[in-house]
């Protein structure tokens, strides 16, 4: 939780600094009329002021949306990871023992049903979270590859100036930070969910003669083996392995484009 809060604070500070920097560029850098290049009708001063105000509002709203959107995702992933960890601890406490009494087995049976229902609830929350961010994952995947390829192409280009190379390096770092913040939390939730499967497997169901309990543990174990993964429209998986593949794919594509130049 502390990590997610720190990341959100970093977004706020970084976004605010970025906005302020863009606002001040036209005042300190010669040749910049607006924070972001834009066509000014007739090069009119009033039109330039209006466009400057609109761009300022755009940057401010962008920072707010990024903080709220990414912050919600980070906190939800962190919460899911914690809930899976607590569920693992609860399942670990279920032990029938070699001399289990009927009353103890009944208590364990009630706990198993309760924890199984809560597991279904967590899976449902994970499914809804993935549905909300599904298109975002696809867009980020494509934009990450495109942005990284363009920036790396500028870096590897012999005719690029020092300022262009510096800007491209900064863009590559920023892109990788943003995509890492998206992929790592999803991977942590997946790992926490996988740990639950191990805890269910370690339940000593063989010490009970209640066939109902044995079947329930078997079915629950089978259900928990389904990977709990985030995905982008069912096309792109969101985990650590795909994060590394994304880096290799971007670099390979840049190398191919450089060779075709």
Q: What is the pLDDT of residues 26-74, one digit of tens each?
A: 777 777 777 777 777 877 888 888 888 887 777 777 666 767 777 788 8
DSSP tag of 238: E
pLDDT digit string, tens, across residues 173-207:
878 887 888 888 898 999 999 999 999 999 988 88
What does the pLDDT read at residue 13? 58
Q: Are 188 and 81 in contact (CB under 8 A)?
A: yes
pLDDT of residue 155: 80
Q: How much is the average pLDDT of 118-147?
A: 90
Residue 230 has pLDDT above 80, yes or no: yes
* Residue of 171 and 221 predicted with greater confidence: 221
Q: What is the pLDDT of residue 8?
A: 56
pTM over 0.85: no
| 229 vs 192: CA distance, rounded Å | 11
Q: What is the pLDDT of residue 181?
A: 82
What pLDDT does residue 80 have?
Answer: 93
Per-residue model confidence (pLDDT) at position 145: 84
- Report residue 22's pLDDT band, with 50, 70 and 90 as the boundaries: low
How many angstroms separate the CA atoms of 92 and 85, rounded? 11
Distance CA 30, CA 39 (A): 17
């Amino acid at each position: 939780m502390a990590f997610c809060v720190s990341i959100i604070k970093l977004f706020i500070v970084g976004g605010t600094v970025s906005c302020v920097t863009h606002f001040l560029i036209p005042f300190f850098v010669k040749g910049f009329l607006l924070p972001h290049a834009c066509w000014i009708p007739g090069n009119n001063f009033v039109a330039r002021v209006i466009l400057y105000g609109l761009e300022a509002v755009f940057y401010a709203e962008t920072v707010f949306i990024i903080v709220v959107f990414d912050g919600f995702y980070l906190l939800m992933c962190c919460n899911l990871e914690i809930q899976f960890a607590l569920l693992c601890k609860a399942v670990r406490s279920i032990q029938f023992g070699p001399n289990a009494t009927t009353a103890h087995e009944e208590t364990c049976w009630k706990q198993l049903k309760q924890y199984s229902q809560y597991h279904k609830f967590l899976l449902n929350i994970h499914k809804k979270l993935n549905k909300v961010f599904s298109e975002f994952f696809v867009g980020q995947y494509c934009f990450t590859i495109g942005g990284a390829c363009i920036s790396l192409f500028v870096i590897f280009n012999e005719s690029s100036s020092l300022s262009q190379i510096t800007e491209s390096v900064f863009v590559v770092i920023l892109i990788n930070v943003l995509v890492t913040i998206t992929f790592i939390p999803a991977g942590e939730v997946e790992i926490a969910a996988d740990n639950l499967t191990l805890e269910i497997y370690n339940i000593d169901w063989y010490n009970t003669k209640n066939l109902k309990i044995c079947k329930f543990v078997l079915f629950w174990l089978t259900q928990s083996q389904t990977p709990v993964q985030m995905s982008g429209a069912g096309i792109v998986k969101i985990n650590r392995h795909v994060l590394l593949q994304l880096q290799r794919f971007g670099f390979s594509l840049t190398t191919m484009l450089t060779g075709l130049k």
